[in-house]
């Protein structure tokens, strides 16, 4: 039996449960690999009734039971929440259970009992209120893996983007931009494209920070002083990197055909084009981890949680990509 993917609960007041149920219903049609849900089985069953989704559940005692159960029922590794969380109404007291689900999923993947970790969306403010000490999933996963360097890639239809600086205010991201960080991130991306995506000679397009990539210093000197030397170093190391490129002309269809991933200088520079190109199907992948982790590239959508209006496309894409990467890693 193949090792199942493990899907975390995510924010219980959000749409994580909704889309997990919908993804199981679409499994045969969309060639989704077997997965199990790490959640409160009673909560998931109640949610299925609320959404009027005919999804039978199979409480499994271990991941090893999930693949056999998957064709007939959604396997759930039951972890009681101990709270009655209404859709759309987050409660910081659930933070411990949300964090514990992420941690256990990582432990299962690290031990080789799960093929990959697929994380449902979390609500950062709720976790912060509950004592969570990390900016987001990416940083917490890096800490669980021993404090290693990671990068956040977003992938959608015909586009992969990676921000060098991630969850920082814009002024802080500019101040933090560093030549060494760009080089380290570029190397990590090139390695991941080769290992996880099967691209033999990855091509990186490196975005400039300023409008027109600085216009030779007329619109800021960061591109000439920081970004261009980093690109030169990547090229000297045998990586096919180009840039700094004007950010406003590198994301149209013809430009996208010329590279395998875009290295961006800050969060929104990467995420805005990705979500414009493929809002429903984008996937978040954490590069550099010793285990495979993907996630839907959207939030908790409190306004539609529990209504049946959520779309599972991004979770389905995350499950399929996680399965493909896990298979490539062997």
- Both 125 and 202 in one domain: the answer is no
Report yes or no on 232 lying in a domain. yes
Residues 111, 165 within the same domain = no
With respect to residue 153, please indicate whether it lies within any of the assigned structural domains: no
In a domain, 240, yes or no: yes
Residue 301 falls within a domain, yes or no? Answer: yes
Long-range contacts made by residues 100-105, C-beta under 8 angstroms, separation at least 24? Answer: 101/8, 101/9, 101/10, 101/38, 101/39, 102/8, 102/137, 102/140, 102/141, 102/144, 103/144, 104/38, 104/79, 105/6, 105/7, 105/8, 105/38
Report, as an integer, the average pLDDT of 193-198: 96
Clarify whether residues 114 and 6 are in a common domain. yes
How many domains are contained in the chain? Answer: 2
Name the pTM for this structure.
Answer: 0.93
Q: Which CATH number goes with the domain that contains 206?
A: 3.40.718.10
Q: Same domain, yes or no, for 70 and 143? A: yes
E strands in the chain? 5-8, 35-39, 57-59, 74-78, 116-118, 151-156, 159-163, 203-207, 240-245, 261-264, 283-287, 293-296
pLDDT in tens, 276-324: 999 888 999 999 999 999 999 899 999 999 999 999 999 999 999 999 9
Domain membership of residue 140 (yes or no) is: yes
Instruction: Answer yes or no: do 272 and 322 share one domain.
Output: no
pLDDT tens, position by position, 5-60:
999 999 999 999 999 999 999 998 888 999 999 999 999 999 999 999 999 999 99
Domain range for residue 227? 158-277
Asked if 75 contacts 69 with a C-beta cutoff of 8 angstroms, the reply is: yes
Residues 121 and 193 in one domain: no
């Amino acid at each position: 039996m193949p090792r199942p993917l493990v899907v975390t609960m995510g924010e219980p007041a959000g749409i994580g449960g909704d889309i997990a149920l919908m993804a199981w219903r679409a499994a045969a049609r969309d060639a989704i690999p077997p997965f199990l849900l790490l959640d409160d089985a009673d909560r998931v069953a109640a949610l299925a009734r609320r959404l009027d989704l005919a999804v039978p559940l199979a409480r499994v005692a271990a991941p090893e039971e999930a693949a056999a159960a998957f064709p007939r029922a959604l396997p759930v590794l039951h972890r009681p929440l101990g709270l009655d969380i209404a859709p759309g109404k987050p409660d910081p007291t659930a933070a411990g259970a949300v964090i514990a689900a992420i941690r256990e999923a990582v432990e299962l993947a690290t031990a080789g009992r799960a093929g990959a970790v697929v994380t449902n969306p979390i609500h950062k403010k709720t976790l912060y209120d509950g004592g969570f000490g990390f900016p987001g999933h990416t940083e917490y996963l890096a800490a669980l893996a021993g404090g290693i360097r990671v990068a956040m890639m977003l992938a959608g239809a015909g586009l992969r983007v990676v921000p060098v600086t991630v969850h920082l205010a814009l002024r802080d991201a500019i101040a933090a931009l560093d030549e060494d960080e760009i080089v380290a991130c570029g190397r990590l991306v090139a390695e991941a494209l080769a290992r996880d995506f099967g691209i033999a000679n990855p091509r990186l397009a490196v975005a400039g920070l300023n409008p027109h990539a600085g216009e030779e210093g007329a619109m800021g000197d960061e591109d000439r002083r920081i970004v261009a030397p980093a690109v030169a170093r990547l090229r000297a190391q045998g990586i096919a990197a180009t840039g700094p490129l004007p950010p406003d002309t590198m994301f149209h269809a013809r430009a996208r055909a010329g590279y395998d991933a875009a290295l961006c200088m800050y969060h929104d520079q990467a995420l805005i084009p990705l979500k414009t190109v493929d809002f429903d199907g984008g996937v978040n992948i954490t590069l550099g981890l010793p285990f495979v982790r993907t996630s839907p590239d959207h939030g908790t959508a409190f306004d539609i949680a529990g209504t049946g209006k959520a779309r599972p496309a991004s979770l389905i894409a995350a499950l399929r990509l996680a399965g493909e990467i896990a298979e490539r890693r062997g």
